[in-house]
Amino acid sequence: MRSKQTQVSDRSKGKAGWGLKSAAWFGVLYLNLPILFIVLYGFTTDDASYSFPPPGLTTQWFAVTWARADFWDAFWLSVQVAFLSMLIAMVLGTFAAAAMYRFKFFGKEAVTLLILLPIALPGIVTGISLRSAFALGDIPFSYFTIVLGHATFCIVVVYNNAIARLRRSSPALIEASMDLGADTFQTFRHVILPNLATALLAGGMLAFALSFDEIIVTTFTAGQQETLPIWMFGELSRPRQRPVTNVAAIFVMIITFVPILAAYYLTRDTDDVAGSGK
């Protein structure tokens, strides 16, 4: 282990200077310190304002949050929406990737752009356009309009993962399968799908995480429903029991972080696009 480390540092021409090191640490702190504060204030005894340092530490807010029915309503709504959006994205994203990989057609580049657009556009543009589309179609805002809204950008992460995997696998695999007697459907089932499995799982998990903490598109496509992020936003403006929001935030962190980590490990040994944050 020791000698390996020496080798690596030899190859990278010595250690980083102090300036570079402190810059790197500043960057890490800048990104992560606010998150630490969110966790810290989940334990504060002060229930109306965020004073520093916290006057005392307590775990009572976990019990309080646990007992709040509105928290659980919002939480389960978000889980359901994220799960459904993920499913829609996995089906449509896989099909889109398979079609884009397999066929060449006029306007292919344009279609690629159109698929990627929902994640590239600001959420507010996606949100407004969906809202006006629903209004034009006379579709009442509901649970399903939220799911449809989330699916638009969830498809992108599944598509990206799937097409990256397809591009890396040898096209001869499909020919080999057909050569050995498998028709199109058998080839899809025995060769293409198993090859895509980890990429699809990773894409699906990222899609779940994206949907779970989405607030902008949700604001425009929800009716009376409150997903967890919307519930938290509303909670912030109430004077009482502020740390409940922090506890909820810790929940969101765990629920979104685990799938992202899992997706990273699933695609670690490949050069797949793991996905980009929205």
Partner 1 sequence: MTTASGTAAVSFQNVSRHYGAVKAVDAVSFDIREGEFFAMLGPSGSGKTTCLRLIAGFEQPTDGHVIVHGIDMNGVPPYDRDVNTVFQDYALFPHMSVLDNVAYGLMIRKVPTGQRRKQAEEMLEMVALGGFGGRKPSQLSGGQRQRVALARALVNHPKVLLLDEPLGALDLKLREQMQVELKAIQRRVGITFVYVTHDQGEALSMSDRVAVFNQGKIEQLASPTELYEKPATTFVAGFVGISNLLEGAAARAVTGTEQACSIRPEKIHLERSGVAIPADAMTARGRVSSILYLGANTRYEVALEGGGELTVTLQNREAHAEPAEGETVQLWWEARHLMRFAR
Q: Write out the residues near partner 1 by the rule CB under 8 A.
A: 169-170, 172-173, 175-183, 186, 190-191, 194-195, 197
Exposed/middle/buried for residue 171 (C-beta within 10 Å: 0-12, 13-18, 19+): exposed
Please give the backbone phi and psi of residue 57, each rounded to the nearest 5 degrees, phi first.
-115, 140
Nearest to partner 1 of 172, 236 (CB atom): 172
Measured from the CB of residue 257, what is the shortest distance to partner 1 in angstroms?
A: 28
Whichever of 197 and 258 has its CB closer to partner 1, that residue is 197
Kindly state the smallest distance separating residue 265's Cβ from partner 1, in Å: 18
> Nearer to partner 1 by C-beta: 65 or 177?
177
- In the complex, the smallest distance separating the C-beta of residue 62 from partner 1, rounded to whole angstroms, is 43
Least Å from the CB of residue 98 to partner 1: 17
Q: Considering the complex, state which of residue 57 and residue 193 has its C-beta at the smaller distance from partner 1.
A: 193
Task: Choose between 10 and 269: whose C-beta lies nearer to partner 1.
Answer: 269
Which is nearer to partner 1, 171 or 277 (by Cβ)? 171
Distance in Å, CB of 189 to partner 1, minimum? 10
The two tokens of residue 68 are 């709040």
How many whole angstroms separate alpha carbon 62 and alpha carbon 56? 15
CA atoms within 13 A on the CB side of 33: 6
Q: How far is the CB of 261 from partner 1 (least distance, A)?
A: 23
